[in-house]
Amino acid sequence: MQIALLGGSGDIGEGIGLRIARDTSHDVVIGSRRREKAEDAAASYRNTLAPNADDSRIVGASNETAASEGDFVIVCVPPRYVLDTVQAVRSDLKDDTVVVSPCVRMSRNETGFHYQSSEVGSVAEEISDVLPDQVPVVGAFQNLAAGALTDLDRDLDLDVVVTGDDDESKQKVTALLEGIEGLGTCDAGALANSREVESLTPLLINLSMNNSDLHDLGVKFR
Ligand SMILES: NC(=O)c1ccc[n+]([C@@H]2O[C@H](COP(=O)([O-])OP(=O)(O)OC[C@H]3O[C@@H](n4cnc5c(N)ncnc54)[C@H](OP(=O)(O)O)[C@@H]3O)[C@@H](O)[C@H]2O)c1
């Protein structure tokens, strides 16, 4: 299958792209607002995984092209740009595409990181609201740190909490996640429960910032 990462040139896109390409048989399409930037990022990720190898399983494309090819479209852009990004590609999505939100809205002040809820409740629900009803949205990856994913020597041994209103889509995302070495999954129910998942992330970052022995934390429930 094709895994499209909108804004995949950034931190979490790199981590997710590397792990999927290394551990699964899926192809990865790095999306960007600029195709050349996506192609450069894809070349860099290929080089990280297999220097000098001719591996075409990670390619770069515009966000629109990536969205049009993805069986999964993972929205890897900062929350304030998420809705514009999704709206710009929504007519490009395939009929059976599952859209995945790793997004968390946070603020930062002198005391640390703080969760910012929205009127809708969560970024995952905001994404769902701007997509046609038939496009399933699944929340996942919010509690994984890019630094943990990009450190390919690190044994993750972490859970990913999955939310969504469509069971079949959640099962597809669960299968994708469980293909990544060291990741387990937990089902937190409906997409409306994404706010609780997203709100854990600032806690994980504050713990990392205040404890020298805790870096790039994730969650583990089992
Ligand atoms: N970083 C983490 O550890 C982490 C962990 C869990 C969840 N997340 C979530 O993942 C999402 C991405 O985080 P990140 O840290 O990877 O972000 P990032 O590195 O700051 O940015 C990701 C990409 O967003 C695109 N972008 C930047 N400005 C944009 C704009 N004005 N309009 C559209 N796209 C724009 C850029 O891609 P192009 O310039 O190539 O278009 C950039 O490479 C966020 O919602 C965050 O909450 C992050």
Smallest CA separation from ligand 1 atom 21, residue: 10
pLDDT in tens, 187-214: 999 999 999 999 999 999 999 999 999 9
Output the CA 218–ligand 1 centroid distance in Å: 19
Q: What is the pLDDT of residues 37-73, one digit of tens each?
A: 999 999 999 999 988 666 679 999 999 999 999 999 9
Atom of ligand 1 nearest to the CA of 105: 47
Q: Ligand 1: does its nearest atom lie under 6 Å from the Cβ of 78? A: yes
Domains (range + CATH), the chain = 2-210 (3.40.50.720)
- Of the candidates 208, 105, 16, the one whose C-alpha atom is nearest the C-alpha of residue 216 is 208
Residues in the chain: 222
* Closest C-alpha residue for ligand 1 atom 29: 81
Rounded mean pLDDT of 71-86? 98
Per-residue pLDDT tens digits for 126-157: 999 999 999 999 999 999 999 999 999 999 99
Q: Is 15 in the pocket of ligand 1 (CB under 6 A)?
A: no
Pocket test for ligand 1, best of 6, 9, 12 (most atoms within 8 A of CB): 12
CA 5/CA 157 separation, integer angstroms: 23
Instruction: Note the pLDDT of residue 195.
Output: 98
Ligand 1 near 87 CB (within 6 A): no
CA of 31 to the centre of ligand 1 (A): 11
Cβ 31 under 6 angstroms from ligand 1: no
Compute the distance between CA of residue 121 and CA of residue 126 in angstroms, rounded to an integer: 8
Average pLDDT over residues 149-172: 98
Q: Per residue in 103-122, pLDDT tens? A: 999 999 999 999 998 899 99
pLDDT confidence of residue 54: 64
Atom 42 in ligand 1: which residue has the minimum CA distance? 10
Q: Which residues neighbour 9 within 8 Å (Cβ) at sequence distance 6 or greater?
A: 30, 32, 37, 38, 40, 41
Residue pair 103/130 in contact (Cβ under 8 Å)? The answer is no
pLDDT for res 52: 66
The two tokens of residue 41 are 């990022």
Pairing of strands 112-115, 106-109: antiparallel
Contact between residue 100 and residue 124 where contact means Cβ atoms under 8 Å apart: no
* Res 123 pLDDT > 70: yes
Can you give the chain as a three-state secondary structure string? CEEEEECCCCHHHHHHHHHHHHHCCCEEEEEECCHHHHHHHHHHHHHHHCCCCCCCCEEEEEHHHHHHHCCEEEECCCHHHHHHHHHHHHHHCCCCCEEEECCCCEEEECCEEEECCCCCCCHHHHHHHHCCCCCCEEECCCCCCHHHHHCCCCCCCEEEEEEECCHHHHHHHHHHHHCCCCEEEEECCCHHHHHHHHHHHHHHHHHHHHCCCCCCCCECCC
The rounded mean pLDDT for the chain is 97
Report the pLDDT averaged over residues 179-190: 98
Count the alpha carbons within 13 Å of 112 in the hemisphere toward its beta carbon.
13
Residue with tokens 């959640």: 170
Give the residues across from 106 on adjacent strands: 115
